């Protein structure tokens, strides 16, 4: 198989044209701020050849040497045509927007026709400006909340942590911020994501047909890139909201050579709580806040080299202090992420990116009561590097290859406890070290005008190494034993080939059929004890007990655009199979992680999901938006759970509908709304009660056999923009002209849950009274989080 693919690549790569070829390459940037533009299209109409810029704004197009009218098609701007004499390899860096005005009224998707043209199946790019127009919960524009409005993507629950793609768990999403992995992309238990919208440049979601350059997760890739910063001038933007504020400063390090961007955001729930809660309240000593900081620096070292330094640091902190002073607790958690990248052009056809990444996620909990103190920590630290090459042999062919390495250090649980001078034996801190590597090659090529393929192969390995202590639990009344591995001992090695194929067959009438297949290994797991996702969920690596998750997904879709790409439609069906999924064993407790290995508490099973997704998007015009509908079924089967019978996954949703619309009334007002409907989540509730030892106990029935009421909600928003232009007399002509204002601002008014629907967050069986007193009652209670919530945010930019 491997040999066959390599031969095919070689054949396609070196198939040359009969006449001499020249390469046109370069970077496309925005003339306004110098930011590179992703997915801008460079197109030569006379020979119908074109190419898109990559994540770094680079393009390369090899065509027969000649003189061409070359079109540069960039989102939000008119297409500009340049005549280029291509008599040799030429680097042509293009500044978009220098010769013409920005089109303010309409956001045009640069690759509108790529809905049908590309091999991308299950891939959606979101325009950050579009996201900012949509209704936002408490005024906080959120990338992750917006992708949950797309078909095939759902949230765990209202404000749930993470997101679920096509029946996969939240750990199966590869979330990348400037190429560094983000393990926990949530603030405040999932009500907000870690992505500050002012610092975000682009968002790309791949939910099927994952190309071979991505790996390590089974379900999806969410690629978020930060703004590079303004190369031209110092600029500031920010916003004041009801619970948080943010500010971003960007500017040139050296004009047109380098730039910086610094962005910060902080909530002030803690300050508001102090204002509303008096000193005698039991919550008087409690507070919560989060903040995050984004930083990006980049510098052009020459025509062929650029470096980027990206950083993110965010932290949530919850504290509780008993007003009587008897008990206090503190729970901080957060991510620290950094990446350093170097782009190098070996030639106009060969682009290289070298990246070093650092990711640190830490959750901790500490409490003190009288003389007793308790501390718990859980976290991950990744240090990695990768090198990726992109080779453009001819316009029909783009080859990528690369290698990745990550050193993981997982600390699932580290506990210490003491009482006065006695230190309790809480065992050794569980620290698991491992090496993950991968190498890949892929070729995206046109076989002819109709057929286009993206064929790739990825090979990944994972080594769990010492030092490590394996606990072996004793039988009845017998003690536990341990096996100790020394530093560097190889405890377990896994490896596997991951073939990836996606294809497009172009049909007449601006339509196409696409299909994708991907096979993935995933070497990390997320274990959750709770019915809702929390920062206490534990990340855990593959070990000799916990095998790697293995999944494959096949999908087929029909894509069609109407009315000159004004309307994009698609229908996709998929089937996903997942092996070695993990769950906690029945009745596992958080304290069981102490003095034990987390994987001893786990049980392993299989899952599958299938469904159909329907998507209609209006991309152009005053009214834009989309309707997405998903029908799906997601099930699990574990030998040790539910008597070995299959059960619905907790986020199994039969129906999921979202309707999103945005209407630009004029240059001052934009109105938006979003409506979602989703089948209720499943959960496990007791089916029976019984009495033992004078206590009334519950017997739980089939796992996830109860379903909550459906979830539906309507949000609306209106944005009022200040005047973009001011009138000024032209000193030379004496005429009154319109001049663009430097200071711009807008007021965003939002109403969340307009008709005040009491959506279920979770259900529980409540027992009230005393059974032995004869006044005992059992009832099912539904907890709802958010009623109708209006909010207002003031945003500014200068």
Partner 1 sequence: MLLLLNGCTKEVTIDIPGYEEKLVIDGQIETDQPPFVMLSKSKEVYAPTDLDAFLNGFITGAVVTVSDGTTTVQLDELCSDNLPPGSEEIAAAMFGISVADLANYNICAYTSFNTAIWGQVGKTYTLNVTFEGQTYTAETSIVQPTTFDNLYWKPEPDTPNHGFSWVTLSDPANQFDGYRWEIKRINTNPDGTTVDAGYTPTFNPVFNDEFFDGLTFDFAYENPHAIGPSVPEDFRFLYPEGDSVVIKLSKMDRNVYEFLEKKYTQLATAGNPFATPTNIPNNIEGGALGVWAGYSPSFDTLACYE
**Binding to partner 1, residues 187-206 (CB under 8 A):** 191
Three-class HEC string of 641-681: CHHHCCEECCCCCCEEEEEEEEEECCCCEEEEEEEEEECCC
Least distance between partner 1 and beta carbon 586 (Å): 5
**How far is residue 498's CA from residue 212's CA, in Å, rounded to a whole number?**
8
Answer for which of 352, 534, 627, 751 binds partner 1 (CB under 8 A) is: 534
The reply to whether 136 sits near partner 1 by the rule CB under 8 A is no
Q: Which residue, 85 or 783, is less far from partner 1 as judged by CB?
A: 783
The reply to whether 700 sits near partner 1 by the rule CB under 8 A is yes
Least distance between partner 1 and beta carbon 789 (Å): 9
Least distance between partner 1 and beta carbon 785 (Å): 5
The reply to whether 329 sits near partner 1 by the rule CB under 8 A is no
Peptide bond into 64 cis (omega under 30): no
Q: Give the range of 141-149, 202-210, 343-351, 681-689 binding partner 1 by CB under 8 A.
A: 681-689
Q: Which residue, 236 or 529, is less far from partner 1 as judged by CB?
A: 529
Answer for which of 354, 562, 767, 796 binds partner 1 (CB under 8 A) is: 767
The reply to whether 695 sits near partner 1 by the rule CB under 8 A is yes
Whether 388 and 58 have beta carbons less than 8 Å apart is answered as no
Least distance between partner 1 and beta carbon 284 (Å): 13
Q: Binders of partner 1 among 779-798, rule CB under 8 A? A: 779-787
Whether 763 and 708 have beta carbons less than 8 Å apart is answered as yes
Answer for which of 18, 478, 666, 732 binds partner 1 (CB under 8 A) is: 478
The reply to whether 369 sits near partner 1 by the rule CB under 8 A is no
- Considering only CA atoms, which of 96, 69, 136 is closest in space to residue 719? 136
What is the DSSP secondary structure assignment for residue 77, as one 8-state letter?
Answer: B
The reply to whether 476 sits near partner 1 by the rule CB under 8 A is yes
The reply to whether 318 sits near partner 1 by the rule CB under 8 A is yes
Least distance between partner 1 and beta carbon 251 (Å): 36
* The length of the chain, given as a count of residues: 798
Tokens 């996954």 sit at which residue?
649
Answer for which of 763, 791, 793, 795 binds partner 1 (CB under 8 A) is: 763
Whether 309 and 273 have beta carbons less than 8 Å apart is answered as no
Q: Give the range of 175-183, 474-482, 619-627, 727-735 binding partner 1 by CB under 8 A.
A: 474-482
x/- letters, 545..584, toward partner 1 (CB under 8 A): ---------------------------------------x
Q: Binders of partner 1 among 259-288, rule CB under 8 A? A: 269, 272-273, 276, 283, 286, 288
Answer for which of 65, 387, 507, 529 binds partner 1 (CB under 8 A) is: 529
Q: Which residue, 16 or 782, is less far from partner 1 as judged by CB?
A: 782
Q: Binders of partner 1 among 631-670, rule CB under 8 A? A: none
Least distance between partner 1 and beta carbon 592 (Å): 10
Q: Give the range of 61-69, 105-113, 476-484, 571-579 binding partner 1 by CB under 8 A.
A: 476-484
Q: Which residue, 18 or 779, is less far from partner 1 as judged by CB?
A: 779
Q: Give the range of 179-187, 389-397, 562-570, 683-691 binding partner 1 by CB under 8 A.
A: 683-691
**How far is residue 152's CA from residue 438's CA, in Å, rounded to a whole number?**
28
Least distance between partner 1 and beta carbon 681 (Å): 11
Whether 570 and 115 have beta carbons less than 8 Å apart is answered as yes
**Token pair for residue 482?**
């341990």
Q: Which residues contact 660 (CB under 8 A, 6 or more apart)?
A: 134, 149, 625, 626, 627, 672, 673, 674, 675
CA angle 183–185–190, rounded 5-degree value:
125
Whether 196 and 177 have beta carbons less than 8 Å apart is answered as no
Answer for which of 313, 567, 671, 689 binds partner 1 (CB under 8 A) is: 689
The reply to whether 684 sits near partner 1 by the rule CB under 8 A is yes
**How far is residue 672's CA from residue 677's CA, in Å, rounded to a whole number?**
17
380, with CB counted inside 10 A (0-12, 13-18, 19+), is buried
The reply to whether 425 sits near partner 1 by the rule CB under 8 A is yes
**Token pair for residue 754?**
């307009």
The secondary structure of 382-444 as a DSSP string is EEEEEEEEEEEEETTEEEEEEEEEEEEEEEEEEEEEEETTEEP-------EEEEEEEEEEEEE
**How far is residue 122's CA from residue 220's CA, in Å, rounded to a whole number?**
9
């Amino acid at each position: 198989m491997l040999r066959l693919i390599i031969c095919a690549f070689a054949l396609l790569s070196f198939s040359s044209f009969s006449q001499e070829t020249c390469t046109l390459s370069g970077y496309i940037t925005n003339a306004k701020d110098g930011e590179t533009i992703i997915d801008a299209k460079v197109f030569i109409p006379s020979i119908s050849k074109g190419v898109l810029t990559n994540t770094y704004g680079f393009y390369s197009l090899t065509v027969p040497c000649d003189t061409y009218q070359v079109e540069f098609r960039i989102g939000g701007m008119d297409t500009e045509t340049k005549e280029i004499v291509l008599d040799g390899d030429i680097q042509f860096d293009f500044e978009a927007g220098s010769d013409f005005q920005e089109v303010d009224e309409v956001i045009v998707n640069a690759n509108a026709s790529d809905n049908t043209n590309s091999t991308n199946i299950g891939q959606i790019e979101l325009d950050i400006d579009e996201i900012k127009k949509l209704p936002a919960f408490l005024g906080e524009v959120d990338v992750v909340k917006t992708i949950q409005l797309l078909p095939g993507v759902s949230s765990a629950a209202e404000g749930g942590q993470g997101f679920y793609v096509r029946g996969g768990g939240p750990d199966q999403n590869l979330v990348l911020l400037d190429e560094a992995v983000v393990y926990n992309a949530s603030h405040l238990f999932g009500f907000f994501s870690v992505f500050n919208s002012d610092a975000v440049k682009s968002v790309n979601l791949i939910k099927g047909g994952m190309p071979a350059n991505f790996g390590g997760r089974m379900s999806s890739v969410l690629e978020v890139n930060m703004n590079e910063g303004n190369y031209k001038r110092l600029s500031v933007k920010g916003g004041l909201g009801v619970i948080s504020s943010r500010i971003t400063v960007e500017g040139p390090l050296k004009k047109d050579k380098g730039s910086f961007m610094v962005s910060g955001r902080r909530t002030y729930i803690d300050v508001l709580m102090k204002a509303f809660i008096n000193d005698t309240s039991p919550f008087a000593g409690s507070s919560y806040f989060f903040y995050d900081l984004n930083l990006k620096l980049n510098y052009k070292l020459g025509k062929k080299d650029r470096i980027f330094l990206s950083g993110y640091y965010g932290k949530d902190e919850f504290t509780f202090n008993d007003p009587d002073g008897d008990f206090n607790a503190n729970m901080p958690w957060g991510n620290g992420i950094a990446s350093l990248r170097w782009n190098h052009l070996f030639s106009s056809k060969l682009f290289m990116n070298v990246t070093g990444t650092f990711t640190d996620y830490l959750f901790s909990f500490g409490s003190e009561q009288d003389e007793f103190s308790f501390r718990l920590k859980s976290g991950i630290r990744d240090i990695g590097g990768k090198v990726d090459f992109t080779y453009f042999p001819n316009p029909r062919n783009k080859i990528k290859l690369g290698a990745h390495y990550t050193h993981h250090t997982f600390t699932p649980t580290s506990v210490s406890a003491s009482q006065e001078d006695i230190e309790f034996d809480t065992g050794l801190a569980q620290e698991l070290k491992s090496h993950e590597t991968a190498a890949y090659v892929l070729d995206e090529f046109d076989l002819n005008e109709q057929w286009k393929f993206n064929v790739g192969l990825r090979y990944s390995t994972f080594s769990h190494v010492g030092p490590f202590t394996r606990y072996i639990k004793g039988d009845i009344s017998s003690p536990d034993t341990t096996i100790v591995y020394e530093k560097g001992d190889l405890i377990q090695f896994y490896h596997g080939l991951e073939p990836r194929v996606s294809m497009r067959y172009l049909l007449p009438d601006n339509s196409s059929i696409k299909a994708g297949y991907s096979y993935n290994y995933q070497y990390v797991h997320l274990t959750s004890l709770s019915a809702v996702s929390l920062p206490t969920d534990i990340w855990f690596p593959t070990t000799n007990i916990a095998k790697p998750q293995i999944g494959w997904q096949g999908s087929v879709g029909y894509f069609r655009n109407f009315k000159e790409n004004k309307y994009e439609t698609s229908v996709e069906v998929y089937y996903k199979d997942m092996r070695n999924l993990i769950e906690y064993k029945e009745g596992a407790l958080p304290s069981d992680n102490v003095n034990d290995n987390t994987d001893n508490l786990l049980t392993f099973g299989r899952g599958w999901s299938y469904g159909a997704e329907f998507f209609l998007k209006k991309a152009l015009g005053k009214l834009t938006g989309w309707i997405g509908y998903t029908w799906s079924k997601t099930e699990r089967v574990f030998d040790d759970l539910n008597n070995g019978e299959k059960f619905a996954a907790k986020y199994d949703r039969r129906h999921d509908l979202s309707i999103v619309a945005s209407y630009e009334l004029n240059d001052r007002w934009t109105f938006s709304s979003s409506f979602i409907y989703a089948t209720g989540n499943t959960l496990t509730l007791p089916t029976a009660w019984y009495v033992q030892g004078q206590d009334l106990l519950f017997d739980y029935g089939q796992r996830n056999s109860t379903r909550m009421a459906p979830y539906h909600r309507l949000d609306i928003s209106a944005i009022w923009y200040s005047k973009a232009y001011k009138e000024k007399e032209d000193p030379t002509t004496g005429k009154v002209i319109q001049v663009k204002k430097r200071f711009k601002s807008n007021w965003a008014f939002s109403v969340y849950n307009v008709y005040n629907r009491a959506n279920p967050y979770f259900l529980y069986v409540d027992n009230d009274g005393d059974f032995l007193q004869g006044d005992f009652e059992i009832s099912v209670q539904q907890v709802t989080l958010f009623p109708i919530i209006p909010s207002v945010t003031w945003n500014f930019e200068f």
